[in-house]
Structure 1
Amino acid sequence: MRVLVTGAGGYIGRFLCNRLIEEGHAVVGLGLPEHLDRLQSTGCEVLLHDLSSGKSLNLASIDAVIYLAQSSFYHEMPEKAHNLFKVNVCGLIKVAESARNAGVKRFIYASTGNVYKPSFKPLDEKSPLRKDDFYALSKLTGEQILELYNKYFKVIITRFFTVYGPGQRNMLIPKIIERVKLGQSIFLEPTEEKNSENEGLLLTPCYIDDAVSILQALMQINNKDSIIINVAGSEIISIKKIAQEVGKLLGKKPIYSEVASLRQGNLIADNSFLKSLVKINFTSSTSGLYKTLSTGMSE
């Protein structure tokens, strides 16, 4: 299969391109010129293209698209909202239209678990959605646009929860690792329950190899209608527990500080639907953190 991966120079993109090539697929990696070295390191056919530009895109001979691209400015709102929607919405429309014109058969879109309203309950694919956040709104808009394209190609929307692994930077789990290494405080947000121990945010992290295996498997799903799938691990773990595991591996005792603000929810995914579609043995947090640390933190 000939596969276009947008955002191929990003974290998930690089691992995915490597895996797809190993499995015998022809991979075209789309990314920005400043990510040329990253793109070339995957061994894919490189397509340099800025999705926020008005330049056209020719996807002739592409069988499937995996859209991992997103604006790198998603934390800088509202100042960078223009770029956010150019890449996450307008860029997506450009690729979807090019895919339709080229006769692409399948389109997988990487959304996020952050589209859900904050909740302390596990979030399934029908949980309430939020529209009070720029990033979440851009991703939801992308989801809704792609659902309109389902008559032209098979659409799968993946909502990722806390993907982590070797070489990742500037995300939650690598930040925890770095703070434990440096002896800096791990900040824990409490809840309104005064009698419970504060473990901080609860998560269902997904190790990078598992995330890639899931995307691979979803390429083979024969869905008629568009489907939305939570992509997350099966283990619920707290910020404090992650720091403790990291501390054991590094031989360092984590330092904790409780912040004044109350957290409004956790980030726990219900991945039952995913497990009904894909057979996977999820990497445990202990194993995933060990692999992350033993491989090193540098890219």
Structure 2
Amino acid sequence: MKILVTGAAGFIGFHVAKRLLEKGHDVVGLDNINDYYDVSLKYARLLELGVAKSLAEKYNELAASKKSPQGFKFIRMNLEDRDALPKLFETEKFDVVCSLAAQAGVRYSLENPETYINSNIIGFFNVLECCRHHKIKHLVYASSSSVYGLNKKIPFDTSDNVDRPVSLYAATKKSNELMAHTYSHLYGFPTTGLRFFTVYGPWGRPDMAMFLFTDAILKGNPIKVFNHGKMERDFTYVDDIVVGIVRIIENNIGERIANKELYKLYNIGNNQSVNLMDFIKALEQSLGVTAQKEMFPMQPGDVTATWANVDDLIKDYDYRPNTSIQEGVQKFVDWFKKYYKSEGGVE
């Protein structure tokens, strides 16, 4: 299939594009390379996909037409661009769209709300419009466990009420689900939303706990532990996430269409919750260092616990995450040391 992956220079988008290429699909990656975090990491991911930095830095005709040795084509573009995005769809004639591009981060949304409206609402609307007008067979898109907000019931289930978000990021993701439902209902094309839980692993985002903790511990700095460590997360290794996404993309959805199940929504996580202090202990064991811990109260926009009920994904796609926290943390640490040794250390 010919597949568009938006957010292809991002953490999950990079891994999904890489796996799809390995499986023989024709992949076009789109990303705007924003500076929410260190862009050199985004360029390094693209380099892994065979895209030269000179092509990634600026969208031009050469970048638009040249494929990497791996068969990957990269386009630098904002999803908010209502002129360029439809032209891309018209030119490339995609079969499936995997929309993973978004302004990420709960805490960043407290200070930069407009960024989330532009990227996560307007950008996603443009993707939906392009899917509608260019007869896309299936839209798979990223939602988030953040939509559960103040929900107290554990584990989280997609049937739970999600009308109490505690961050604008969460509110935009819930909006994406509502928009996708409307488009599936009105225009008759299948959409599948995936509520990601705490994804970690090699090439991860520098603003997430795994990265921040590892960096601080290796530098001999204290780590910030919020809610005095009384937190739980459904930590999910990125390879397990990717297996699920690719399985959904590759699945023939003819039966869904026949049954008029055009709109679907799933949790995608590790199907268990891990105490934050146990997570830190696994990291300490992998690094061979005991972390200095500074305890802080709960941060605005955060929640105490997340835990995904993935029964529907198991039933429909035989999704079975099997990477233990110890194994996943060790793989991240190995990548981190190797990457930053070659990069000359974290600034």
Q: TM-score, normalised to structure 1's length?
A: 0.88
Instruction: Give 3-state SS (helix, strand or coil) of 2:78's partner.
Output: coil
Work out which of the residue numbers 242, 246, 270 in structure 2 matches 1:212.
242
Q: Which amino acid aligns with 1:146?
A: A
Residues 1:51 and 2:90 aligned together: no
User: Mean alpha-carbon deviation: is it higher for 112-121 or for 201-210?
Assistant: 112-121
Residues 1:127 and 2:160 aligned together: yes
Contact 1:155–1:225 under 8 Å retained in 2 = yes
Contact 2:8–2:30 under 8 Å retained in 1 = yes
Contact 1:177–1:243 under 8 Å retained in 2 = no
Aligned to 2:176: 142
Instruction: Give 3-state SS (helix, strand or coil) of 2:108's partner.
Output: coil
Contact 1:180–1:246 under 8 Å retained in 2 = no
Using the alignment, how far apart are the partners of 1:260 and 1:11 within structure 2? 28
What CA RMSD, in Å, does the superposition of the two structures yield over aligned residues? 2.4
Instruction: State the 1:261 CA deviation.
Output: 4.9
User: Mean alpha-carbon deviation: is it higher for 145-154 or for 51-60?
Assistant: 51-60
Instruction: State the 1:32 CA deviation.
Output: 1.5
Matches within 5 A, 1:90-101: 90-101=122-133
Gaps of 5+ in 1: 191-198
Aligned to 2:59: none
Residues 1:290 and 2:318 aligned together: no
Using the alignment, how far apart are the partners of 1:231 and 1:128 within structure 2? 17
Aligned to 2:227: 189
Aligned to 1:248: 285
Aligned to 2:30: 30
Using the alignment, how far apart are the partners of 1:261 and 1:11 within structure 2? 26
Q: Which amino acid aligns with 2:128?
A: A
Aligned-pair identity in percent equals 24
Instruction: Give 3-state SS (helix, strand or coil) of 2:159's partner.
Output: coil
Using the alignment, how far apart are the partners of 1:289 and 1:78 within structure 2? 29
Work out which of the residue numbers 255, 268, 274 in structure 2 matches 1:237.
274
Using the alignment, how far apart are the partners of 2:121 and 2:268 within structure 1? 21
Instruction: State the 1:69 CA deviation.
Output: 0.6
Using the alignment, how far apart are the partners of 1:208 and 1:51 within structure 2? 24
Contact 2:143–2:194 under 8 Å retained in 1 = yes
Residues 1:166 and 2:206 aligned together: no
Using the alignment, how far apart are the partners of 1:123 and 1:103 within structure 2? 33
Instruction: State the 1:218 CA deviation.
Output: 1.1
Instruction: State the 1:37 CA deviation.
Output: 6.2
Using the alignment, how far apart are the partners of 1:75 and 1:54 within structure 2? 28
- CA deviations on 1:70-93 (whole Å, 9 max, x unpaired) are 125763345532221111111111
Gaps of 5+ in 2: 35-41, 50-69, 341-347
Aligned to 1:195: none
Instruction: Give 3-state SS (helix, strand or coil) of 1:149's partner.
Output: helix
Using the alignment, how far apart are the partners of 1:30 and 1:252 within structure 2? 39
- CA deviations on 1:187-229 (whole Å, 9 max, x unpaired) are 2525xxxxxxxx5211111111111111011111623231111
Residues 1:10 and 2:46 aligned together: no
Contact 2:199–2:235 under 8 Å retained in 1 = yes
Using the alignment, how far apart are the partners of 1:28 and 1:39 within structure 2? 12
- CA deviations on 1:133-188 (whole Å, 9 max, x unpaired) are 21111111111111112143211000000000012122122222233332514525
Residues 1:111 and 2:143 aligned together: yes
Contact 1:74–1:84 under 8 Å retained in 2 = no
1:79/1:261 CA distance change after superposition, 3 Å? closer
1:283/1:147 CA distance change after superposition, 3 Å? same
Aligned to 2:55: none
Using the alignment, how far apart are the partners of 1:73 and 1:122 within structure 2? 22
Instruction: State the 1:121 CA deviation.
Output: 2.2
Using the alignment, how far apart are the partners of 1:77 and 1:162 within structure 2? 17
Instruction: Give 3-state SS (helix, strand or coil) of 2:13's partner.
Output: helix
Contact 2:106–2:170 under 8 Å retained in 1 = no
Using the alignment, how far apart are the partners of 2:120 and 2:290 within structure 1? 40
Using the alignment, how far apart are the partners of 1:146 and 1:138 within structure 2? 12
Aligned to 2:115: 83
